[in-house]
Copies of this chain bind each other. A is one copy, B any other.
Amino acid sequence: MPKPLILVTNDDGITAPGLRMLIRYMKDLGDVVVVAPDSPQSGMGHAITIDSTLYFKRVVTDPGDGALEEYSCSGTPADCVKLALQELLPRRPDLCVSGINHGSNASINVIYSGTMSAAIEAGIEGVPAIGFSLCDYSWEADFRPAEKAVKQIARESLKQGIPEGVVLNVNIPRTRGELPKGIRVCRQARANWKEKFDKRTNPSGRDYYWLTGEFELLDKGMDTDEWALAQGYVSVVPTQFDLTAHHAIQELNNWSLHE
């Protein structure tokens, strides 16, 4: 039986330690091709490049990682997946994995996540897909405790098949060298960011702002990703791109929209 073909991408860029680690983990499961942004794309949400040109090039970043081929692309994570599927891969991949992101994409962060947008793009195209994120923003984050869970979830995804219309949002707790306690299937916790705009003045006297903020958890449920992570578990949230709030259709049908 041929080995599974696995597309690896991310939003932190092709040199990010989290991507290099994910390549190493995936080569134990199949043949790996990498198509990743040539520079960091965090916070890009589900952006695509429609009004400027896209470049890509074949690169050799670290032969020891064992990827069959690697390409860096000038576009966003979603662009990378589109380009990989249409132009670069020898055949349809069996799995697309994105990450491992340096920082959480749990809860409402999924909405802003370039890591997840790559996975969602693959899902829209019918390719089983997973976004992996470690709850540690540091470039020196320790990814080793994540290895077992990352491989287990990828292996099960290859074996069981991910349900249609669903991609997996996997977040890994920050542990101090220890293994996570286990893996929990969760729902997305309700939360938002309390923005603060840090106002400064540039050398020409013009005001500008840095966007900062504090995460505000608004959900006490014990079935959420935030709860699982706080307890030391890896969270797996099945995530969909049909955004219809089906439960609200009936209510809206009672509005006066039809005269």
A196 at interface (Cβ–Cβ under 8 A)? Answer: yes
Partner of A240, one of B56, B79, B243, B253: B243
Interface of A is mostly: mixed
Q: A86-B196, A192-B125 are in contact. Are A53 and B238 (CB under 8 A)?
A: no
Q: Which residues between 24 and 65 of chain A lie within 8 Å of chain B, taking CB atoms?
A: 40, 42-51, 53-56
Q: A197-B83, A241-B111 are in contact. Are A48 and B55 (CB under 8 A)?
A: no
Q: Which residue of B lies closest to A190 (CB)?
A: B242
* Docked-complex contact A83 and B43, CB < 8 angstroms: no
Q: Which B residues are CB-close (under 8 A) to A78?
A: 45, 112
A230 at interface (Cβ–Cβ under 8 A)? Answer: no
> A110–B237 Cα gap in the complex (Å)?
21
> A187–B248 Cα gap in the complex (Å)?
10
A97 smallest CB distance to B (angstroms):
16
Chain A, interface size category, equals 35 or more
Q: 6 A-B contacts, Cβ less than 8 Å apart?
A: A43-B48, A46-B111, A53-B208, A54-B209, A185-B249, A238-B245
A242 smallest CB distance to B (angstroms):
5
* Docked-complex contact B55 and A206, CB < 8 angstroms: yes
* Docked-complex contact B156 and A53, CB < 8 angstroms: no
Q: Which residue of B lies closest to A254 (CB)?
A: B160
A178 smallest CB distance to B (angstroms):
17
Q: Which residue of B lies closest to A242 (CB)?
A: B188
* Docked-complex contact B53 and A42, CB < 8 angstroms: no
Partner of A238, one of B160, B195, B238, B249: B249
